[in-house]
Structure 1
Amino acid sequence: MKNFNNQKIINDFQQQYLKKDFPKIQVGDNIRVGVKIIEGNKERVQFYEGTLIAIKNSSINKTITVRKVLQGIGVERIFLIHSPKIASLTVLKSAKIRRAKLYYLRSRKGKASRLKQRFN
């Protein structure tokens, strides 16, 4: 009996489900995520726009946390990047940041929560 490398088999299986058409994203980017919504028998794309405050995991389990402020209340949503529910991902602006997670934005309001823009 051959000795199989289990991790290699799992990685090869996951490769077919990874999305390759997404742009390179970084924490601090202002992004727009298109989410597929099913209402009855109709399907549409709803956009969620905000600041990317965290990226977790890797490969098929990669998730991003997007934060936006709606009527003075902060709303965060976690997206599984390689999910079939994610239709599109667009980078609107980038910011100069020095941290891996921007959780400190949760306690800031108004102008204090602005990030310095990075021009590419």
Structure 2
Amino acid sequence: MPKRAATRLKTRSSGAASPLRNTAGNWRHAMNMIAILEAEQIAALGKKIPDFKAGDTVKVGYKVTEGTRSRVQNYEGVVIGRKGGATISASFTVRKISFGEGVERVFPLYSTNIDSIEVVRRGRVRRAKLYYLRDRRGKSARIVEDTNYKPLSE
């Protein structure tokens, strides 16, 4: 074994403090700090997000800037999935049929461009992601309305 490799092994196996070894107990604290900071950012935005999930039909008012004019464009469709949970980077995907073509759009939940989110209809589904709707046409793509909806937070 060359002399250089032997010294490298010695320094590694010696009980020298590595930066990762000392902070191993603080990972939970760091992750908690990130969650706290994100919660503060969400609270600072002051947006009221309605309770909706996959299968619900929503109307999203999205701010569109055309030249110097700014207007709100409504996009109504079925939510086929949400991702990101309760973080500031959470997003949701809305699918609608426009002129016979399926169109999907991903909206960041806490985007400043979102003017409003309104739940039009509650859907009863057994999945968190409804990607199977992409392959369905007509009546097979319908979602049964949930008439027994109870809000979570109220």
With the length of structure 2 as denominator, give the TM-score of the two structures: 0.70
What's 1:89 paired with?
Answer: 117
Unaligned runs of 5+ in 1: none
What amino acid maps onto 2:103 in structure 1? V
What's 1:35 paired with?
Answer: 62
- C-alpha distance in 2, partners of 1:40/1:72? 30
Does residue 71 of the first structure (1) align with residue 127 of the second (2)? no
Unaligned runs of 5+ in 2: 1-25, 150-154
**CA displacement, residues 32-87 of structure 1 (integer Å, 9 cap, x when unaligned):** 01111112222211111000001111211111010000111100000100111111
Does residue 109 of the first structure (1) align with residue 137 of the second (2)? yes
Aligned length: 118
* Structure 1 stretches of at least 4 aligned residues deviating more than 4 Å after TM superposition: none
User: Is contact 1:53–1:65 with CA below 8 Å preserved after alignment?
Assistant: yes
Query: Which structure shows the bigger proportion of residues in strand conformation?
Result: 1
Identity fraction in percent: 40
Higher RCO (Cα < 8 Å, 6 or more apart)? 1
Query: Which structure shows the bigger proportion of residues in helix conformation?
Result: 2
Greater C-alpha Rg: 2
With the length of structure 1 as denominator, give the TM-score of the two structures: 0.89
